[in-house]
Chains A and B, each alone.
Chain A
Amino acid sequence: MSARSTVRALPTLVRVGFAEAIAYRAEMLVWVLSTTMPLIMLALWSAVAADAPVGRFDQRDFLAYFLATFIVRQLTGAWVAWQMSFEVRTGTLAMRLLRPLHPMVSYAVENLAALPLRLVVALPVAMLALLLLGTARLPRSPALWGVWAVAVLGGWLITFLANALIGCLALWTGSSIKVMDVWLVAFMVFSGYLVPVELFPGVLRTLVAWLPFRYQIGFPVEVMTSAYDLPAALGMLARQWAFVLAFLGLAAIVWRRGLRRFAAYGG
């Protein structure tokens, strides 16, 4: 599996992944509906902020924050853990191993190919946000938009690699859905998905800074709502990519060791 053949296979993989996303569009709709939690939290926090602002957040700040959260979540979705768990259990992972292409690459491209459909959902929300809030909260400098783009990519990479890592555990245990459930709970609470990280009380905030979750959603959202100036944003970006590299290393090790145990039952 040379780099060149991988690159040559990419367009086809993207086409297949996109066709798959179209074929399972009802599933996609269900998934999108299940990511509407930021909108529910928005309603909640607006009620809380009705009398007095919470921290520096008034009602409109919450509106900006949670609409941005919804958009970033659409852009950083990955579901490899479920895919791998299923394919290990049914033995169909063997099919992927036979192809002259690293399975992780094919998973990644499949997940990314669903992006255009997700943009269809995210764009109207972005329009709505612009309409309701204007551009006052968006970052002014193009450099910050550059940081935002890299941050979204980093957020997606952490999500994807964590998924892959947990998916690999299925090679030992047969199913890793339960581990994924625990991960998801921690993700929802500590990523800024339900509560802006800024609002956490002291100790928790320090803890959150050392966990990967914040860099999946919270950080890109904060950049998008102008919570940082450029130096601060770059500092956070460096931390985010440190997590990306750590997860990449870990996933690679676990994948290699786990694969030796794979027996393709039933496949």
Chain B
Amino acid sequence: MSLWKLALLIALFNVMTFGNGPVMIPLLQTHLVEGSRVLTEDQLLYAFTIARVTPGQANFYVASVGYMLYGMPGAIATTLAIILPGYIMIPLLHGYEYLHGSRWIRGFTQGLTVTSVGLILAAVVEIARATLTQPIAWIVLPATLILTQLLKWNIFVTLAVVGCLGLLFRWLL
């Protein structure tokens, strides 16, 4: 896969998902991990983790994917690929009344959102099959869910705690 093709693919995925970071995961998984095998599941997961611990826009983890494949030029190209469609904002500011009133567009975006929930969960199953090969991983995953969702812990604290938990079990077993 050439740098150009990667940038075009990322640009396309980003536009299709309205720049929603998590929704891009199934697309990246199918095309870069399973399809052309330029990326491993581990690399994709690591890139996504970066998105969760950095400030700013949540779809910028594609820069990490770009860097893994092509170094700095890759990071810059993928970043530009997700930023430039933002300029559609300028014409939209003028044609807003028409678009806002359109129930078709609201239905379309609602359809995209709902579909992506199913797609993300399907990708989770795929990635889990490939990466959660060690039993300890099945302790860390639910622990993360409980800490972030039920106990509402901060993401950094959660990652530190489940990280230690994983290390502890690895040391014990």
The answer to whether A binds B is no
**Interface of B with A (CB < 8 Å)?**
none
**Interface of A with B (CB < 8 Å)?**
none
